[in-house]
Structure 1
Amino acid sequence: ADEHNRLLTFNRSAVLITGYALARVLGKPAIEVLQLPPEFSEHLDEDLLRARSKRIDLPFRRADGDHINLGLSVAQLPLPDGRRGYLYTFQDVTDLKQLERDAQLQKRLAAVGEMAAGIAHEIRNPLASMSGSMQILRQELTLSSDQAQLMDIVLRESERLNDTIRSFLAYARPQRFERQRLDLPGVLQDTATLLRNSHELGESHIIEVPVGPGEVFVEADENQVRQIVWNLATNGLRAMSKGGTLTLSAAPDPDHPGGAVLTVTDQGVGIAADDLEGIFEPFRGSFGKGSGLGLSIVYRLVSDYNAAIDVQSQPGRGTTFRVTFPPAPERRASRAS
């Protein structure tokens, strides 16, 4: 950029990263093209007098609308006519930022898992004693209708608390794998049947499981895959308090032969962009039901399979979770040979 911070050159790598053609950016302010925040550029000259360069990581919206992360540095550059301009160097650090976020999330999940296991064990034994005693009293005492109703409430709430403890333990315990060749559309059909007969389903809910062409298999533990589908599906139903359609689908991964893609789509309230990064953290539930660990358990199970989970959401229109399972190890080996 020249002394007025207008772009003089824009190399091929810059075009590929930003998506902006050379003719579109030449002569324009670098601050505008590179979408630099005002606090970064406000005292740029003074900052470059104190240091050789200045660096920033920032979100960037490409010409095609995609959002990426840039790692950018700027330094002063002597120009051929003796004036001083600016040299901007930057790279796409989106994948690196995602790895950093994943690593931080894994640390938090591990710490919360240890805490959850300790708390759950401390609560479970006295809860079992209390629940058992209440059941015996319920059977042996002569109670009025009001007393019987209160007793039933206590027993029901005890069972709900026990369900929460089971979620803690399922989240905290190391997962055991019993891999088998699993028919993914069959799992979706079974889960849909269970959901249609569960208390999670409202009168205005519709569950669809479209049947795609061909077979879709994954090498995985059946119970764990069922838990992934169940947690994502119940989350979708809870997001549709006023009703809507929940769609469960499975398809081969077009980018990795032998892989599979599981998709769960709802027409619920959606998730704000600022909240998307934290949805897999423990106790982030927002529907007033459950333990707040459902999506955290999904994330842990997906990570255990070296799979990937992607979330796309529009507030007021709904959310789509997409889990991509890698090809089975033996299939990868056979292709390599």
Structure 2
Amino acid sequence: MTTPPGNVASPASSGSVAEIQQIRLFRIYNHYRVVVSLMLVGLLFIEPFTADTRFRWLEYYQGGVFSYLAINAFTALVMVAGFCPRERHVIVSVLLDILVLHGLLLTSSGITNGIANLVIVSVAAGNILTPTRMGTFYAALAAICSLGISAWAVLAINETADDIVRAGTLGILYFATAFVLQSISRRMIRSEALARSRARSIAELEQINRQIIQRMRTGILVLDASGSIRLANAAAEELLFGAASRNDSAHPGDRILPAPLKQGLLAWRKHPGKRIEPFQATATSPLLQANFTQLDQDQGDQTLVFIEDMSKVTQQAQQMKLASLGRLTAGIAHEIRNPLGAISHAAQLMEESPQLDEGDHQMLDIIRRHSKRVNGIIENVLDLSRRRPAEAEAVDLPHWLEQFCIDFEQTRGDGEPLAIELSPDPATPQARFDRSQIEQVLVNLCDNGLRYSKQQIGENRIQLEAGATADGERAYVDVRDFGPGIPAEHRHSVFEPFFTTDKGGTGLGLYLARELCEANQAHLSLVEDDQPGCRFRITFAHPGRMI
């Protein structure tokens, strides 16, 4: 329905709870007016008035009663049709009631008529609907009209002076009603304002708490007695299910607890004081630790679960270890490199001697390789200790991988042909990361993959794949080689510092790669499948949920 401008104000556009409350009260008051006018009209038909001396002007009284009913009925119909009165409409209605009722008093038997009591109700309603100075004006107008009718009756038709006394008493009642109701109304308004303010503060606090819980890196679950999920924040969904809900209002009960966590919940319920063992929700998820607590001690039907990423704790311990090692390395790097450089230089000079036999050359090769390895260890540890913070930016992953492959082939420079099979999915979502740091990770993974592929199949061949996770919101990159693979007993150790199966390696490459991924809120994992070689996956964080 179209609202005529200037006549109707919808509650939603009025912008004030007080105005909406005023409209509701006015509707109730108008129902009262309709009932009163119907009763007045009904009395005309129930008891016929022909030559009743109680009425001064019967025809005018009857016309006034019918007019009053018509006005009130019209107002009720307009409000049913959707009209929302403003304050000025309320004021006009109350003033009209006071004047019409006094007109009925004048045309009937005067101030002694029971209709005078209805004026008190109108004054009271006016002070409730508009608890301002206008309420005092209603009382003053009603008192003046009452006194005016009584004075006219005494002077014009020789009524007794008792009417003036009664009019004065009614005037006192009008003002008393106005003052009392204004005081009560102001107190109620202050109470409502305080209640609204507190409700708004509670709502804002609840919203802040919800945002804090959703953005926490610790997973939080609320489970009912049957183990169904009642609440889960984004971190819990990513840690347990590898995907967060697209819609924050989605019902978390659709999720099913991973089997290891469900077993841990049952074990905890049997032995509440026992700490469950760390577990993996999926093959590619990090190692997780769950802690349980009873949420409601009275009912005892809900359980609060905290999900911690154990890799964070392990990484913190390793970072402390490497930080100490980095400080030590930084302090003695100069002392190590000087003799190391002298050893390397001496080995190079000895290689130029024509008097060396094959055994001497083998010994010099050992010196050169191990000197290079020691220097690589020092460089890697120094890189860990002085790594700069990530500067994340939104990246179109397929396009960025194409450019990476071109740059990688140009800078490798060993003269051997490379076979990099790139298969990006056009529907891959954007990712946020530091280009230089993730490029360093990919260079490390690609170098390893090419080296192991060369050892196994005799050619430098790797595969790069980009796509979206199961929820379609996060991007990932896979690097697959065609090497001999990693034995099952070593799969959980490949990301530990100084662990290596290559005699010439430092054991810091994959650890450094995972550290750089974690700095960009990405996760580097070893994917187990039935394909030859190794498959490493970088899973990026949701670009809109990065902290």
- TM-score range, shorter-chain basis? 0.5 to 0.7
Residue 156 (str. 1) matches residue 373 (str. 2): no
Equivalent residue for 1:10, pick from 200, 203, 226: 226
Q: CA deviation at 1:322?
A: 1.1
1:276-312: CA deviations, max 9, x gaps? 3x543311223333100001221332344x3312314
Call closer, same or farther: CA 1:124–1:118 in 2, change over 3 Å: same
Q: 2 CA distance for matches of 1:173 and 1:102?
A: 16
Contact persistence 1:116–1:169 (CA under 8 A): yes
1:100-154: CA deviations, max 9, x gaps? 3443343334334334444544321101112223333444x44245377347525
Residue 227 (str. 1) matches residue 440 (str. 2): yes
2:521 aligns with: 307
1:56 aligns with: 275
What aligned pairs does 1:126-205 form with structure 2 within 5 A after superposition? 126-139=339-352, 141-146=353-358, 149-150=361-362, 152-153=364-365, 156-157=368-369, 158-175=371-388, 183-192=400-409, 197=414
Contact persistence 2:225–2:302 (CA under 8 A): no
Equivalent residue for 1:269, pick from 479, 485, 495: 485
Equivalent residue for 1:124, pick from 337, 341, 366: 337
Contact persistence 1:263–1:320 (CA under 8 A): yes
1:50-78: CA deviations, max 9, x gaps? xxx53433456879x99965433589x99
Q: 1 CA distance for matches of 2:414 and 2:444?
A: 16
Call closer, same or farther: CA 1:191–1:39 in 2, change over 3 Å: same
Number of equivalenced pairs: 282
Call closer, same or farther: CA 1:213–1:238 in 2, change over 3 Å: same
Code of the aligned partner of 1:208: E
Code of the aligned partner of 2:509: G
Determine what percentage of the aligned residue pairs are the same residue.
Answer: 22
Equivalent residue for 1:208, pick from 384, 399, 421: 421
Q: 2 CA distance for matches of 1:131 and 1:74?
A: 64
Code of the aligned partner of 1:321: R
Q: Give the unaligned 5+ runs of structure 1.
A: 1-7, 21-31, 48-52, 80-86, 333-337
Code of the aligned partner of 1:246: I
**Which is bigger in relative contact order (C-alpha 8 A, separation at least 6)?**
1
Answer with 1 or 2: which has the greater Rg.
Answer: 2
Code of the aligned partner of 1:187: F
Q: CA deviation at 1:220?
A: 3.4
1:255 aligns with: 473
Larger strand fraction of residues: 1
Q: CA deviation at 1:230?
A: 1.8
Q: 2 CA distance for matches of 1:34 and 1:71?
A: 12
User: Per the alignment, in what secondary structure is the counterpart of residue 340 of structure 2?
Assistant: helix
User: Per the alignment, in what secondary structure is the counterpart of residue 302 of structure 1?
Assistant: helix
2:256 aligns with: 19
Larger helix fraction of residues: 2
User: Per the alignment, in what secondary structure is the counterpart of residue 479 of structure 2?
Assistant: strand
Call closer, same or farther: CA 1:92–1:112 in 2, change over 3 Å: farther
Q: 2 CA distance for matches of 1:196 and 1:323?
A: 29
Q: CA deviation at 1:94?
A: 3.4
Q: 2 CA distance for matches of 1:78 and 1:326?
A: 39
Call closer, same or farther: CA 1:313–1:272 in 2, change over 3 Å: farther
CA RMSD of aligned residues (A): 5.1
Q: Give the unaligned 5+ runs of structure 2.
A: 1-223, 231-251
Call closer, same or farther: CA 1:187–1:126 in 2, change over 3 Å: same
Q: 2 CA distance for matches of 1:93 and 1:274?
A: 29
Q: 2 CA distance for matches of 1:177 and 1:68?
A: 25
Q: Normalising by the residue count of structure 1, what TM-score does the alignment of the two structures yield?
A: 0.60
Q: Normalising by the residue count of structure 2, what TM-score does the alignment of the two structures yield?
A: 0.40
